[in-house]
Amino acid sequence: MTNYQPKDSSKSPRFCGIRTFMRLEQIKTTDHVDFVVVGVPFDTAASNRTGQRYAPQHIRNFSVLLRPYNPDMDINVFDYCSGVDYGDIDVIPGNIHRTYDNIVAELTPILDKGIVPIIIGGDHSISLGNLRAFHKKYGAVSLVHFDSHSDTWNDYYGERYMHGTPFRRAVEEGLIDPRHSIQIGLRGPLYSAQDYEDARELGFEVVPMKEVRKIGFDQVMKRIHERVENRPVFVSYDIDFVDPAYAPGTGTPEVGGPTSFEALEYVRGLDGLNIVGFDLVEVLPTYDANEITAVLASSVIYEMITLTALKKRRELQQKAEVLNQQQ
């Protein structure tokens, strides 16, 4: 059986070849793969800085430094799963609704095969299109949302489909189950005290960054796991969740966030959840001094891929235990 994995950089220099994520093969296939990396370079729903359309290629460019063995999770990713760089979904700049249609059309055959899409934005508005596709396969999913903003505003400038509104629209459309969803890391100045309450009134559990610091990592992860239980989970990771000292390349940075080490630990701590897909959004190359944000973003995606490998390893171990019991 075909097993797609990265090109070996000890045999082929990293600066050779077309830039793909982690030097995976760039092939649009749903055969013999467990995950695909997909770009959605849409940024015309951003309210401040734009340029997130260039994030997929920016992150891919730095990701060539990644290697298959993850020492922190003690697993060689490609011993247990196969994956490709699926390329980018064609977006329509300035037309968010046709872009959503394209996202759903492209993700549907991937999800129908039970493959885990790992999606690189783009601004955070793309998450609504992603969730529409996931809803077709899984029904209302649980959401684990890392961000400095709730993205549950009703509108921006009278527009209901912006990067600050996707999760309100997702609740309204029944795409996610807010009773089993959680938002982590919210912080920064707001328009009013009602902003966090709006998210809570929609049904989300909200853990602002100040509370994260107060209760600590272990308690945060416990609350995530207890909230989600064993339901299908979509993870949405806005890079501005991380402090701008570690991720300067983003459109609406907020100080007081996690370090880069903590940013990776929050992904690693999701191991054991029934994760069916991820997106990472809001990387803005124009403001990414010395590619600091690209380093972190590619590593976060790498940890997301690792979670897929860990899940596959558990499934294989469980099958082996069943066979042993039958013998």
pLDDT tens-place string over residues 161-192: 999 999 999 999 999 999 999 999 999 998 88
pLDDT at residue 202 is higher than 90: yes
pLDDT at 1 over 70: no
- Whether this model's pTM surpasses 0.75: yes
Query: Average pLDDT in the 151-160 region?
Result: 91
Whole-angstrom distance, CA of residue 53 vs CA of residue 123 = 8
d(CA 305, CA 116): 9
Other Cβ atoms within 10 Å of 45 Cβ, number: 24
Domain residue limits, the chain? 21-326
* CB neighbours of residue 49 within 10 Å: 17
pLDDT tens-digit readout, 135-147: 999 999 999 999 9
CATH assignment, 21-326: 3.40.800.10
Residue-wise pLDDT tens digits, 40-92 = 999 999 998 999 999 999 999 999 999 999 999 999 999 999 999 999 999 99
What is the CB-side half-sphere exposure of residue 196 using CA atoms within 13 A?
A: 17
Rounded distance between C-alpha atoms, residue 165 and residue 243, angstroms: 22
Q: Which whole-number Å values give the CA distances from 297 to 17, 62, 234, in the listed order?
A: 21, 9, 18
